[in-house]
Amino acid sequence: MCSCVTQEENNMALVPYVENSSPLLSKLHSASAQFEFNSHRVTVSQDWRRHGVAAVLWDAAVVLSVYMEQEGELKLKLKGKRVIELGAGTGLAGIVAALLGAEVTVTDRASALDLLSTNVKSNLPPGCQGSATVSELTWGQGLDRYPAGGFDLVLGADIVYLEDTFVPLLQTLEHLCSDATAVLLACKIRYERDTRFLGLLKERFRVEEVHYDQQRDIHIYKAWKLPEPRAEL
């Protein structure tokens, strides 16, 4: 078996390919994936055998990262903005946001932080090292460690898939967002429960679909927190 890479559309991303293997198995067992964003080569390490799904680069992170770079208005607005990525896994979206000039907090559960920290540190050039920090965040827990409404943009790539996490994820989003915060969620809609999450989100956020990658079947939703209803006098 030999390994090589294939170049994606517009020379935007290099993704792993293993001969005579299904795309899914290739994704799980490749040690790394290579990309180029904002004129920087990014090499993302993954380790499915040791860390499971948190250590795999899923398509939603790639689509979200390409969207951030290609969406001209968003790319300009990221400079100097406060960004937090939830359930970052291998950290690609947070790394790309930092390369585009944002001050990024890249978060995941404690068990995922070693690989996440390695990816962040190895992919940010010296002049960019201060623009991303890695921090532990389990949704719905210890939220007082993060400023309420303290971020301009919240990122999430393929974090909507376990129904047990929907309530703490919504609690976390409500805590992190002010009325001016934007949320970008990239995900597949695999099951009815994923649609139910969008329904729950729409109870507290204004939600619109801003991008669909047909090849990878990835949707990107943008959301803004609805203002609190005013108490009647």
Domains of the chain: 52-225 (3.40.50.150)
- What is the rounded (10 degree) CA torsion for 217, 62, 163, 225? -100
pLDDT (tens place) for every residue of the chain, 233 residues total: 222 233 333 333 333 333 333 444 455 456 778 888 988 899 998 875 665 566 678 899 999 999 999 987 887 789 999 999 999 999 999 999 999 999 999 999 999 999 999 999 999 988 775 689 999 999 999 999 999 999 999 999 999 988 899 999 999 999 999 999 999 999 988 878 889 999 999 999 999 999 999 999 999 999 999 987 665 65
Q: What is the pTM of this model?
A: 0.84
